[in-house]
Chains A and B, each alone.
Chain A
Amino acid sequence: MKRWLVWLPLCAFGIIVAVIAWGLWQPADRTVRSALVGRPLPDFVLPAIAPGKPGLTSADFRQGSPRLLNVFASWCVPCVAEAPQLLTLKAAGVPIDAIAIKDTPGDVSAFLRRNGDPYARVGADAHSRVQLALGSSGVPETFVVDGKGVIRAQHVGDIRAEDVPQLLQALADAK
């Protein structure tokens, strides 16, 4: 065994301790925020999953006007809770696209039948790859994307009635 190699574990341990110490003295912010706010959407092409609706690609967000990107799943209970607010936003003229996480066409169409359908396009992300690329940590999450495909804001968790004005404001700011 090479002489310096025997000190390697100690160095690795030193790094771990430094990291822990740093984590310990940080004020804890438990919400996972995407690092992508202010940056363009990662490129993706997702197949269609909802009947009669096209799938979703990152190019769809570069059409000149801001849109909402909603990450949801038919198996997600808070997604049911936020459905009325998405319908309100749609009624206010906001175009909304969606990514369905780990879902099946049957479940998605049943979900939309039950809870209303605010979406223009729905892409299927069967293995959460695009979700992870977006820096999203759970469902539901909603991104405000401007007309050039740049993420301008992120909403973690379900959209409550009181969040709607903020989202409308963010969309106005993105114009």
Chain B
Amino acid sequence: MTAETGLAALWLAAALAALQVLLGVLALRRDMPQAVGAIRAVAIVQGALAAIAMAALINAFLDTDLSVALVVANSHSMKPWLYKFAGAWGNHEGSMLLWVTILGVAGAAVAKFEHRLAQPTLVATLAAQAAIALGFYAFLLFASNPFARLNPAPADGAGLNPLLQDLGLAFHPPTLYAGYVGLSVAFSFAVGALVTRDVGPAFARAMRPWVLAAWIFLTLGITAGSYWAYYELGWGGWWFWDPVENASLMPWLAATALLHSVTVLATRDGLRAWTVMLAVVAFSMSMIGTFLVRSGILTSVHAFAVDPRRGAFILVLLLLYIGGALALFGARVGTVRQGKLFEPFSREGSLVANNLLLTVILGIVLIGTFYPIIAGAFDIQLSVGPPFFDSTAGPIALLLVAVMAVGPLLRWRRDEAEALIQRSFPAIAAALFAGVGVFLLGGPIGVLPLAGVALAAGLAVASVAPLAKRNLARAPLHLWGMVIAHLGIAVSLAGMAISTAYTQETLLAVGVGDPARIAGYTVRLEGVRPLVSDNWSALEGRLAVTDDGGARFVLRPQVRYFTTPVTTTNESAIATMWNGQLYTVLGALGDDGRWQLRLWWKPFVTLIWLGGAMIAIGGALSLVGHQYRLWRTKQRAEAFA
């Protein structure tokens, strides 16, 4: 019965989304203020119905309801419950339903909580949000029905891709989607403001928390995804410039630029047209990202097999929404009045530089990701990989870090170069000290890693500089947020540079008892034993590790065999030390009775994800700080009234 409940909820939600668009158009055309209450209510119910549909699908997966085709294709009665739960979105239809659910719930939240926006703009925003949702409801109902029945019901399901049977996956896509879809709100705000010609600081202040929240989720999602790929795929890397990784990076780059420009608009009334543009671009990147993953035109571990009809459907949605928004932008941006002006050499100026550099990186990633398809159009088959991205995006990212270090040290409106050099002296000294130190003591490591280490040190010092000479207890929360987020970038960058420069790797065939050496550790294969779990069996190697200091511990990498569907995965075993990770992967058994063993020593690699977490925490502090200040201002106003 639950499948029918879900399908009914989905149809109703679609109908309400259509009503919401209609109400929005009527309210704006006929100038009916009484429609505002109605459109808010419709948006809330629409979000609730989408959530009910998602809950129904999750329920069908938890019960392993084998009359539902999607459950049969992607689940199995023997699977642990957590993976049944995650299995609800570990497939094409379910992930699209999750997407539209988050979209609907975000729209409901705007309707419920947004009170700062001018009413016509709010109406236009909610109508735009419903229009986006409507397209995706149509996609689900006409091209990818997650609730389709299968008759007769088979005896058991087919399972879930074993690579996806991991705790990380249960929460990675929802986090990323919350980020993607959070940007849909910014997009709807931008469309709303363009429709009502109301781009200004008030609009920016209303939009900022949404951008910030989406950006926090994207940051978390990318960080978690990177760590998941690192320990689950067993290849020892943390970023591969895979099209799907790029699909999450591109919205993040746009959202980062938007986050900074929306702050300029909210506080200094500058960068009006640019902010609106970025809001449109950021969500466009989310949609293009979804499209890349779902259409299957690019091969990737993430791409679920999808027929071209669905690809064509999403392409039409892309054309309608992004094309429509960009056309609206082109037509209306002339009516957006210019904001306040500022000197190029100022805090605003550095934020413009930050925006331009982020946009350039975004352009590089976009071109690199699409180039294979473009080349394919001319019958040239090629792939664009890490060497291209590292050598093009890398230097610009380092330049961006330099701007990032200097930016917060600049004054608003205008500043003097001499004063700036004085203020940034500690940061420059730190960068030089770290750079020269690594150069003299660390051996040859290449230009980019060396620059990375030096800039990370400089950025770390520059990041905390805004807190210097302040009463730390009274420094506003959003300032702490910025400091911690920027410090997180420095920490991540240091991790990337050091682990890239000093990683040691060895692959060898070992018999039981043979010692292997890497980076001061002696690894000895003590034995291999079979293991059986609910839905897989495995061979587990027992590696006794001794370090030169005499400490001993045991690592247990596995080769797992899944039966439904038949697949083998290599589960790495990782030991985390304060100064890095020892990463071990057990390979195949050779004809000579020896096992393939792959060992990596990755110094300070954990800093990459620690930094990612700090960036997200910084964002969260900033969000809480802004909201708290708003709440306190309101409290005071009420106390005086």
A binds B: yes
Chain A interface (Cβ < 8 Å from any Cβ of B): 1, 3, 6-7, 9-10, 13-14, 16-17, 19-26, 28-35, 74-75, 77, 107, 110, 114, 127-129, 132, 135, 137
Contacts of A22 in B (CB 8 A): 373, 376-377
- Please tell me if the beta carbons of A110 and B508 are within 8 angstroms of each other in the complex: yes
Which A residues are in CB contact (< 8 Å) with B291?
20
Using A10-B326, A17-B323, A35-B382 as known contacts, say yes or no to A23 and B387 having CB atoms under 8 A apart.
Answer: no
> Which residues of B are found within 8 Å of A10, using beta-carbon distances?
323, 326-327, 329-330
Contact B507 A24 (CB under 8 A): no
| Residues of chain B in range 296-326 having any CB-CB distance to chain A below 8 Å | 296-297, 299, 308, 311-312, 315, 318-319, 322-323, 326
Query: What residue in chain B is nearest A21 (Cβ atoms)?
Result: B315
- Report whether B323 and A24 are in contact in the complex, using a CB–CB cutoff of 8 Å: no
CB <8 Å contact, A13 and B326: yes
Whether the pair A9, B329 counts as a contact (CB closer than 8 A) is yes
Cβ of B367 to closest chain A Cβ, rounded Å? 10
Known interface pairs A21-B315, A26-B376, A127-B387. Does A13 touch B284 (Cβ–Cβ under 8 Å)?
yes
- With a cutoff of 8 Å between Cβ atoms, the chain B residues found around residue A20 in the complex are 291, 295, 297, 315, 318, 373
SS class, residues of chain B in contact with chain A: helix
Name 26 A/B residue pairs within 8 A (Cβ), A-sorted: A1-B333, A6-B329, A6-B333, A9-B277, A10-B326, A10-B327, A10-B329, A10-B330, A13-B322, A13-B326, A14-B323, A17-B318, A17-B323, A19-B370, A19-B374, A20-B291, A20-B295, A20-B297, A24-B295, A26-B376, A28-B297, A32-B382, A35-B381, A75-B507, A132-B387, A137-B382
Q: How far is the CA of A77 from the CA of B330 in the complex (A)?
A: 53
Whether B326 pairs with A9 at a CB distance below 8 angstroms is yes
A116–B596 CA distance with the chains assembled, in angstroms: 17
Closest to B309 in A: A24
Would you call B288 an interface residue if the criterion is a C-beta within 8 Å of the partner chain's C-beta atoms? Answer: yes
The CA of A60 and the CA of B376, in the complex, are separated in Å by 32
In angstroms, Cα B376 to Cα A29, docked, is 10
Chain A residues lying within 8 Å of B376, measured Cβ to Cβ, are 22-23, 26
Q: Determine if B273 is an interface residue (Cβ-Cβ < 8 Å).
A: yes
- B319: nearest chain-A partner, CB-CB: A17
A33 to B381, CA, bound (A): 6
Contact call B311/A24, Cβ cutoff below 8 A: yes
**Residues of chain A within 8 A of B381, CB atoms compared:** 29, 31-35
| Cα of A22 to Cα of B315 in the assembled complex, Å | 11
Give the CA-CA distance A137 to B380 in the complex, in Å. Answer: 13
B509 CB–A CB distance under 8 Å: yes
B382 to chain A minimum Cβ distance, whole angstroms, is 7
- Let me know if B598 is at the binding interface, CB within 8 A: yes
Q: Smallest Cβ distance from A83 to chain B, in angstroms?
A: 12
Is B281 on the interface with A (CB-CB < 8 A)?
yes
Closest CB of chain B to A18's CB: distance in Å? Answer: 9
- CA of A1 to CA of B366, assembled, Å: 24
| Residue among A21, A24, A77, A137 making CB contact with B383, cutoff 8 Å | A137
B284's nearest neighbour on chain A, judged by CB, is A13
> In the complex, are the beta carbons of B299 and A30 less than 8 A apart?
yes
Residue of A nearest to B505 (CB): A75
Assess the A24–B509 pair: CB atoms within 8 A: no
- Please tell me if the beta carbons of B329 and A35 are within 8 angstroms of each other in the complex: no
Q: Which of B297, B334, B383 lies in contact with A32, CB distance below 8 A?
A: B383
Determine the chain A residues whose CB is within 8 A of the CB of B288 once the complex forms: 16
A77 touches B370 (CB 8 A): no
CA distance A104 to B383 in the complex (A): 25
- For residue A30, which residues in chain B have a CB less than 8 angstroms away from its CB? 299
CA distance A25 to B508 in the complex (A): 45
Chain A residues near B295 (CB-CB < 8 A): 20, 24
Known contacts: A1-B333, A19-B374, A74-B507. The answer to whether A24 contacts B326 by CB under 8 A is no
Distance between Cα atoms of A9 and B329 in the complex (Å)? 9
> CB-CB contacts of B319-352 with A at 8 A, as 1s and 0s?
1001100110110011000000000000000000
Query: Is the CB of B16 closer than 8 A to any CB of chain A?
Result: no
Q: Other than A6-B329, A17-B318, A29-B381, give 18 A-B pairs with Cβ distance below 8 A.
A: A1-B273, A3-B334, A9-B277, A9-B329, A10-B326, A10-B329, A10-B330, A19-B370, A19-B373, A22-B377, A23-B297, A24-B297, A26-B376, A32-B381, A34-B381, A35-B381, A132-B385, A137-B382
CA A13 – CA B321 in complex, angstroms?
Answer: 11
Contact of A13 among B277, B323, B596 (CB under 8 A): B323
Closest to B298 in A: A23
Chain A positions within 8 Å of B509 at CB level? 114
B214: CB under 8 A from chain A? no
A15 CB to closest chain B CB, in angstroms?
Answer: 9
Interchain CA distance A9-B328 in the complex, whole Å: 11
Q: How far is the CA of A10 from the CA of B280 in the complex (A)?
A: 11
Which residues on A sit within 8 Å (CB–CB) of B576?
A: none
Contacts of B508 in A (CB 8 A): 110
B277 touches A23 (CB 8 A): no
A7 and B382 contacting across the interface, CB-CB below 8 Å = no
Q: Does B635 contact A (CB under 8 A)?
A: no
B315–A17 touching, CB < 8 Å: yes
The smallest beta-carbon distance between B78 and chain A, in angstroms, is: 30
Residues of A within 8 A of B173 (CB): none
List residues of chain B with CB within 8 A of the CB of A6: 273, 329-330, 333-334
Report the bound CA distance from A34 to B288 in whole Å: 28
List the B side residues contacting A7 at CB < 8 Å. 330
**Nearest chain-B residue to A11 (Cβ)?**
B326
Q: In the assembly, what is the distance between CA of A29 and CA of B288, in Å? A: 22
B592 to A, closest residue via Cβ? A114
Instruction: Give Cα A131 to B588, complex, Å.
Output: 27
Q: Determine which residue in A9, A129, A132 has the highest number of CB atoms from chain B within 10 A of its CB, and name it.
A: A9
A122 to B571, CA, bound (A): 33
Cα A10 to Cα B508 in complex, Å, equals 53
The 10 closest A-B pairs by CB, nearest first: A10-B326, A23-B297, A23-B373, A75-B507, A6-B330, A24-B311, A7-B330, A33-B381, A6-B333, A137-B383
Interface flags, B285-298, vs A, CB<8A=1, else 0:
00010010001110
State A9–B370 Cα separation when bound (angstroms): 16
Chain A nearest CB, measured from B34 CB (Å): 36
Closest to A76 in B: B507
In this assembly, does B392 line the interface, its C-beta being within 8 Å of a C-beta of chain A? no
